[in-house]
Structure 1
Amino acid sequence: MSANAAQTLGDFLRSCRTRLDPASFGFSGRRRTPGLRREEVAQRANISSTWYTWLEQGRGGAPSAQVLERICAALMLTDTEREHLFILGLGRPPEVRYRYVDGVNPRLQRVLDSLDASPAIIKTAMWDVIAWNRAAAVVLTDYGTLAPGQRNILRFLFGDPNVRAKQHDWESVAHFVVAAFRADVARAGLTSGVGDLVDDLCRTSSDFDRLWRENRVLSHGEGENVKHILHPKLGSIEMEYSLFAVDGRPDLSMLVYTPLDAQMAERIRAAVAQHRLMAA
């Protein structure tokens, strides 16, 4: 670690420390400066107070990831602050901490709803759909009719014959989905946590078991990024799809499908309007 990088790390640690309220941590007594004392942070992090002092002074060397995690906990850092501390200390972000999510805030839902002719969903790294717009309900799956635990894309693809029948080339879609799913769970730090879902899919679908054993990985940017659907009411639909990170989180992504044909886009809008009337 360069002297400049070490000093930048030290300045950031000191800034985080002085913003904390000692009373909220059970520390009392008169203080000449705001925030926790260095030895109090070291105590909370279970590290040497001398070494922590050196870190703030820019002469402690490069800390390990384990030490940085303990300092993050001691300073009560946010996810953004934790990432920044790791980049300063190790030159890389920390390992991802997966958080279970069962919905989105109104702001994100409004983004989805503004796409009146483009089916759009927000999915987790486990490929659970946690938000969608009316176009997605019409073209893809009406997720609102399903229990939250059933809104998993892999379960649809490998367990629902109606979803399988809508795929123009099911085998190609299945190959891509399994390979992209494997890459997503690894990126989100869920390789071990996804075991129950994978085991269940392997038991219930020989196709998934076969593709999972191939051990392939793909990103959403690989391939032609075009989805073909044989819709029972709208007919053949061809759509481009794009994947976007949600608020910088690696465990959430927004998938947006854009119809390639203007007439089909109008037909989807009409179907969405009818779906809205029926729901009302």
Structure 2
Amino acid sequence: MTTMVQSTARSALQEQAGAGSETRRHELAAFLRSRRDRITPEQVGLPRGPRRRTPGLRREEVAHLSAVGVTWYTWLEQARDIHVSVQVLDALARTLLLDKSERAHLFQLAGEVDPTPAASCDGVTDSVRQLLDQLDPLPACVQNSRYDILAYNRTYSLLLCDLDAIPPEDRNCMLLVHTNPEWRASIVHLEETMRLMAAKLRASMAGHLTEPAWKMLVKRLQAESPEFCENWERYEVVANRTKTKQFRNPHVGLLDVQHTDLWLSPEQSARMVTYTPIDEETRERLEKLYLLAAG
């Protein structure tokens, strides 16, 4: 008798869980359709064409821009019982131009945790933020081992690009040096830097090979940067090291600085990256940059 009651209870729980999953799938499908309908072709760099009937994007356009199969994406919008990886969710969020709240909603409906630094800034305490501010006009930021920029001070916000204008999920040094025109233009020795950074990423990734956020970053870099693909296939590795760097800042000119990593949280690989001027001219230019950043 007890066995029958337990079996019935298990069946009821399984049925309830199945109903919950089905409801989430339908909500996810409806959410994707609503976001697709509001995005115009012009917003994502596509021609409208004379025969377009829908005001938003077509399913095949979303699939193409997100690098997924058209049939697979159609099944997703039909609430089919298929698995959606965090890499695909990230691609869909970028294609559909989701804001922070919409992105969080997308991951929640899919039953996944958003691995980007936009969702979590572990290791950045109030005291660390105060320290960053105290370092102005010396540029400084906090990065993790994946090169996500978790926090930064005013001078750093204008050092290589207008960082405040970059969405939090795209504030990653690897991504910016390979895809952001303003950031790339600020690097004096760009080719050498890209090769070195690919080697650093491969060395850092050895302990994170199965983690979704790392795989998502590499997949995105491979899709968006031929230079990264070439350097990644070299299988070079190099550890972090202190070195002299040159930046070509559009506001104040050439900057010669010393790059230093200060480790904050070894278990999370969080570090504070600082740039100190090598000469008096650079010091004066950094002070001007800070004043610009401070408004």
Please say whether Structure 1 and Structure 2 have the same fold, judged by a TM-score greater than 0.5. Answer: yes
Runs (4+) of structure 1 moved beyond 4 Å? none
Structure 1 residue 156 displacement after superposition:
0.6
1:209 aligns with 2:225: no
Residue-by-residue CA offset, 1:30-66 (whole Å, 9 max, x unaligned): xxxxxxxxxxxxxxxxxxxxxxxxxxxxxxxxxxxxx
Higher CA-based Rg: 1
Residue-by-residue CA offset, 1:112-158 (whole Å, 9 max, x unaligned): 11112321111112211010011111212332222211101111111
Distance 1:119 1:160 in 2: 19
The answer for the alignment partner of 2:273 in structure 1 is 255
Structure 1 residue 272 displacement after superposition:
1.0
1:131 aligns with 2:171: no
Tell me the amino acid that sits aligned with residue 192 of structure 2: S
1:274 aligns with 2:292: yes
Whether the 8 Å CA contact 2:136–2:290 is kept in 1: the answer is yes
Distance 1:161 1:145, change over 3 A: closer
The answer for the alignment partner of 1:87 in structure 2 is none
Structure 1 residue 248 displacement after superposition:
3.2
Whether the 8 Å CA contact 1:117–1:258 is kept in 2: the answer is no
Distance 2:161 2:261 in 1: 18
Whether the 8 Å CA contact 1:119–1:140 is kept in 2: the answer is no
Give SS of 2:158's match.
helix
Tell me the amino acid that sits aligned with residue 131 of structure 1: A
TM-score (norm 1): 0.59
The answer for the alignment partner of 2:244 in structure 1 is 226
Residue-by-residue CA offset, 1:148-184 (whole Å, 9 max, x unaligned): 1110111111101221111111111011111112222
Give SS of 2:273's match.
strand
Distance 2:166 2:239 in 1: 28
Tell me the amino acid that sits aligned with residue 227 of structure 2: D
Residue segments in structure 1 that go unaligned for 5+ positions in a row: 1-97
Whether the 8 Å CA contact 2:255–2:285 is kept in 1: the answer is no
Give SS of 1:249's match.
coil
Whether the 8 Å CA contact 1:143–1:151 is kept in 2: the answer is yes
Distance 1:115 1:177 in 2: 25
Structure 1 residue 273 displacement after superposition:
2.1
Whether the 8 Å CA contact 2:137–2:287 is kept in 1: the answer is yes
Whether the 8 Å CA contact 1:230–1:236 is kept in 2: the answer is yes
Distance 2:182 2:167 in 1: 18
Give SS of 2:269's match.
strand
Distance 2:146 2:260 in 1: 18
Give SS of 1:198's match.
helix
Structure 1 residue 110 displacement after superposition:
1.0
Distance 2:264 2:220 in 1: 28
The answer for the alignment partner of 1:239 in structure 2 is 257
Residue segments in structure 2 that go unaligned for 5+ positions in a row: 1-114
Distance 1:236 1:264 in 2: 8
TM-score (norm 2): 0.56
Distance 1:138 1:162 in 2: 10
Distance 1:163 1:99, change over 3 A: closer
Structure 1 residue 250 displacement after superposition:
4.3
Q: Percent identity?
A: 24
Residue-by-residue CA offset, 1:178-230 (whole Å, 9 max, x unaligned): 111222232xx312221121111111111000111111111122xx7111111
Distance 1:220 1:168 in 2: 19
Give SS of 1:175's match.
helix
Task: Report how many residues are paired.
Answer: 176
Tell me the amino acid that sits aligned with residue 273 of structure 1: L
Whether the 8 Å CA contact 1:118–1:258 is kept in 2: the answer is yes
Match of 1:102 among 101, 114, 121: 121
Structure 1 residue 251 displacement after superposition:
2.3
Distance 1:248 1:264, change over 3 A: same
Distance 2:116 2:164 in 1: 23
Structure 1 residue 239 displacement after superposition:
0.6
Match of 2:136 among 111, 116, 133: 116
